[in-house]
Structures are given as C-alpha cells and as structure tokens.
A and B are shown apart, each in its own frame.
Chain A
Amino acid sequence: MPIIELQNVSKEYGKIKVLQDISLIFDKGEFVSVVGHSGAGKSTIIKLLTCEEKPSTGRIIVAGRDITQLKPSELPYYRRKIGVIYQDFKLLPQKDVYENVAYALEVCDYPSHDIKKRVVKVLELVGLSHRINNYPNELSGGERQRVAIARALIHNPKILIADEPTGNLDPVNTWEIMELLYRINRSGTLVILTTHNKTVVDRLKKRVVLMKGGRVVSDEKSGTYVI
C-alpha cells in the first residue's frame, strides 16, 4: 500500500522549472534511492515532502492526506511523524549534540527521563557517545552528519528521508551509515535516499529513481546507477 504518492507534481521558481510532472509512489517498507546530477531536483522533492515548499501544481498524498493542504497549525504534527536528514544538516548551532537530538523529543513534550534514555541510545547507535557535549561547530562534517541522522531517527519514524546522508563521509563511514539505514528499513521504515554515490546505489540493489532536469527518466525495481 502506498504511503507517499506524488501526483503530477511540478515546481517552478518564477520562470525556472525545477520539477516537471513528477508522479511517484512509495510503498511501506521500501528503500528508494533517488539519483541524478547536481541540480536535477532531488532536494526539491524532499523540500516538497517536508512542506518547506509547496508544489506549483499537483498533489502529494502522505498516509492518505494531501500535505499540500495542511494548515500551518497541523504542520508541526506532520513533521514530527517523519524523520529527515538534511543535506546541510540543519543542526541548531547554539545547542550541543545532546540538546540537538533531545530537542526533537522536547517539542513533542516527552518526559525528561524518557528523552535521556532515547538520546543516549540513539547517539550510541550512530557512534557519537563521546561527543555528547560538543557544539556543531566543534564537530567534523561526518560527525555532524551523524547528529543529523540521530535526530531523524529519534522518533522511530515510519518514513525516513535522507538527503545525501553520506556526502561527507569516507568509504568506511559511508558503509556504516548505509548499514544503519538498511537496518532501519528492514524494521519496516520507508527510506528515501538521495545520493550521487554510484557504489552505494550499485551495492544496495534496491529501487532507483533516476532524475534529469526535473523529470523522472527511469524508475527501476532493482536498479543500478546509470546516467
């Protein structure tokens, strides 16, 4: 059954057509890689899914609701249900690693002792237990990426969206993170991943959506990275 459905979605910024007539269906438990050249529109699709941007035309149905019609007051509740790893991390510069991850639970009004347990666990999972009290500007790119991942995972979301989660990582770390995403996917979470990394896509042997100039040019069930 589809959890996310994009129906004839287009996005224009003024005269620039960034996405053109995209129709995609993502099912529960799928692992989808969205690949394409820089500027192909991968991040834009993610922005539409997080409601940072509204499509110029078309509908986006998530769990049966058209998210383009969400009221501003419903938006926070929708965002708490999805986990997103942003290409530029979007960590809070004034909060340390622990606080950044905890914030995602604090906004949902979790009790403090529960937050503590979960944050410690998820930071262990991404291998950052030794950096708990450092601020983002004191971390390496890869470490920041892990904080972003930890924050996205903290809710145990049913949908995990990852924009270039391995962009800053060396091959060993890349593979660790991919392992992690793979494990999360196996527990039933829909994972949508954008990447440039050919090796990653080829080894996954999962569904690949190839984009070019704002259009979907191929959508293979068990694809490889071909451009």
Chain B
Amino acid sequence: MNFRSIIRITKFGLINFWRNRWLSLAATLMMTITLLIISFFVLLNISVSTVSDSIRSRLDMEVYFFNDSITETKILALAQDLKSQSNVQEVHFVSKTEAKANFQNYELDPTIASQITDDFNPLPRSLKIKVKNPEKINEVSAFLKQTKYADIVCKEMRCMTSNSNQNQKVTQKLISTTRFVIRAGWGVGIIFVLVSILIILNTIRLTIFTRKDEIEIMKLVGANHAFIRLPFVVESILYGLLATIISLLTISIAIKFANPYMGKYLKIVNVDMTYLLREKLGLIILLQLTISLIISTFCSFISIRKYLRS
C-alpha cells in the first residue's frame, strides 16, 4: 500500500460519503446519539463525584486549640496519634500564621482583615483532619473525647454535621445516594452503549448491503480486498469524526443553557458545569474519538467481510 493508493482510497471514501449522503447522515446521527449517551453518563459521573467529593470535604473535622499556652509539641503529638488511626487519611496542622493568612484571605473587608497582625493574633491554632470514610467519622470524634486529650482539645468541629445527629444522617444518606447514582449510571450507560453499538452495526451493514453489487463488480474489475474495503472504512471513520464534532457542539450548547438552572439546585456544592466541561474537555474529546473510531472501524470491517468472501 503506497501513498498514491492511500490518497485514492481516502478520496473514494469521501466521494462515497457524499454520494450516499442520506445513508451517511443516518449513520452519523446514530453515532452521534451513542456518543451523547456515553458523554452524558461520563459527565453525570464526573459531576456526581465532584458533588460527593465536595460533601466529603465538608465532613472533615477540625480541632481548635484556643488555649495558646498549649505547646506545639503536644499538638503535634496528638496529630501523630490521629494519623495512626485507621480512618484518618491526613492531618494538617494550622499554625497561628497560617490561620491569620486564611482569615485575611476570606475576610473581604480590609479594615477588619488588617486588625489581625503578628502581634495581635487571637486566632487559634488547629488540626484539620481528613477522614477516609465519612460514615465513620464518629470513631475519630470518640478518639478525641478520650480523657488523656481533655486538657488540650478545646473544641472539636465538623462542618455541616456540627455534631447534630439529624444533619449527620442526612449527609450520610446523600453520600450513599451519590454512590448509588454512580453505580446505576454506569450500569445503564453500558446497556445503552451496547444497544447503540448494535444499531450502528446494523446501520453500517445496511449502507454496505445496498452496495453489495458494487463490491461484486469491483472484484471482477480486479480490485484487491484492501482496495474495496478501505474506502468503506474511511467512510465509516468519517461518520465517527462528524459525530464527535456534532455531539461536542450539542453538549456545550446544552450545558451553556442548563448551567444557570443547575447552579440553583447545586448551589451548596457549587458545581460549575461549564467549568467542569472545560476542565474535562480533552478527556471527553479523547473518549468520543476513541469510541467512535473503534466502533466505526470495527463495524465496517465486520459488515464488509462477508461480501469479500468469494
């Protein structure tokens, strides 16, 4: 296969695509729908995990040391003890300087922010604790309640849960729901993908079936298998490329319109879908290209095989 044949085969593929434009359109649309379904589930998955990550991070625990006379050695020893806990992923010590920096970052009013200086800094030191499993955060809390730490731990806080049993139940429910949504999403997604592959396979088979006499003639004129098959493959690849472009456009437009509404519902965790899309655009393009090229090449190879056998 030399350069000239490759050019010729590509040209045949493009011309055939155009001369069979209605069938090409049907196949491209089928492919587009498949890609949209797959992308929908991937995006759903990404956003649900973003939401659940953001909920999880709010379930992290903070321990404050209001008493400035407690030595740093003691606090760091507590941090070490925490780290050895099986449910603790990470412990971060926030010094007074860091607390000040954080405060000045969050406090927008400069007059208030400037009140805190190195000399006057009433902000407490703290330990930020990331847990592995938020559902078992009570274990950590029980660990801190041990009498041997009573003199240093002044206040233990959990964002969102703030010790209230009621809230904790709600968040735990949220976590298990997102987990279920992710799993169900994958299950339904895989079924959809299988169904659409079958439909695409049939569409491509139809486009090739309508031209089986042509394939017969090509054989009689002396074309070898590659020269007959590859233009069909080029044509199918074209379905895939066009479908990728169409579905990407559709997704971006849909997200652009849906984003303001999504914001309303998801404000607490503030997921920005356009941001998410921009962030994951490379991944989504790659995913769509891979899937559409694999499906189209595979389907056209399979479909043409039986007409090439003599």
Residues of B within 8 A of A94 (CB): 16, 19-20, 211, 214
A136 to B41, CA, bound (A): 48
Interface size on B, residues (CB 8 A): 21
Tally the A-B contacts, defined by beta carbons under 8 Å.
52
Residues of B within 8 A of A64 (CB): none
* Cβ of B217 under 8 Å from chain A: yes
A75 to B228, CA, bound (A): 14
Residues of B within 8 A of A91 (CB): 217
A73 to B310, CA, bound (A): 11
* Contact (Cβ within 8 A) A109 B4: yes
* Contact (Cβ within 8 A) A90 B223: no
A91-B217, A94-B19, A94-B214 as given contacts; A80 in contact with B4, CB under 8 Å: no
Query: Who on chain B is nearest to A103 by CB?
Result: B221
Candidates B2, B8, B16, B220; contact of A84 at CB < 8 Å: B220
* Contact (Cβ within 8 A) B223 A92: no
* Cβ of A68 under 8 Å from chain B: no
A93 to B213, CA, bound (A): 9
* Cβ of A52 under 8 Å from chain B: yes
Query: Who on chain A is nearest to B19 by CB?
Result: A94
Closest CB-CB distance, B24 to chain A, in whole Å?
A: 12
A66 to B58, CA, bound (A): 82
A37 to B216, CA, bound (A): 27
* Contact (Cβ within 8 A) A50 B220: yes
Candidates A52, A72, A109; contact of B220 at CB < 8 Å: A52
Closest CB-CB distance, A28 to chain B, in whole Å?
A: 22
* Contact (Cβ within 8 A) B222 A76: yes
CB 8 Å contact bits of A108-120 with B (1 = contact, 0 = none): 1101100000000
A93-B214, A94-B211 as given contacts; A107 in contact with B221, CB under 8 Å: yes
Candidates A52, A72, A80, A90; contact of B222 at CB < 8 Å: A80
* Cβ of B224 under 8 Å from chain A: yes
Residues of A within 8 A of B20 (CB): 94
Closest CB-CB distance, B29 to chain A, in whole Å?
A: 22
* Cβ of A106 under 8 Å from chain B: yes
A73 to B223, CA, bound (A): 10
A47 to B223, CA, bound (A): 17
A77 to B5, CA, bound (A): 16
Query: Who on chain A is nearest to B310 by CB?
Result: A72
Query: Who on chain A is nearest to B309 by CB?
Result: A72
Query: Who on chain B is nearest to A99 by CB?
Result: B15
* Contact (Cβ within 8 A) B221 A111: no
Candidates B16, B216, B223; contact of A76 at CB < 8 Å: B223
Residues of B within 8 A of A111 (CB): 4
* Contact (Cβ within 8 A) A77 B19: no
Residues of A within 8 A of B223 (CB): 76, 103, 107
Residues of A within 8 A of B158 (CB): none
Interface centre among B16, B214, B217, B227 (most CB of A within 10 A): B217
- Residues of A whose CB lies within 8 Å of any CB of B are 50, 52, 72-73, 75-77, 79-80, 84, 86, 90-94, 103-104, 106-109, 111-112, 151
Given contacts A76-B223, A79-B221, A90-B217, 20 further A-B contacts (CB under 8 A): A50-B220, A72-B310, A73-B224, A76-B219, A77-B222, A79-B219, A79-B222, A84-B220, A90-B216, A91-B217, A92-B218, A93-B214, A94-B16, A94-B19, A94-B20, A103-B221, A106-B8, A107-B221, A107-B222, A107-B227
29 contacts between A and B (CB under 8 A): A50-B220, A72-B310, A75-B219, A76-B222, A77-B222, A79-B219, A79-B220, A79-B222, A80-B222, A84-B220, A86-B220, A90-B216, A92-B214, A92-B218, A93-B213, A93-B214, A94-B16, A94-B20, A94-B214, A103-B221, A103-B223, A104-B221, A106-B8, A107-B218, A107-B221, A107-B222, A109-B4, A111-B4, A112-B4
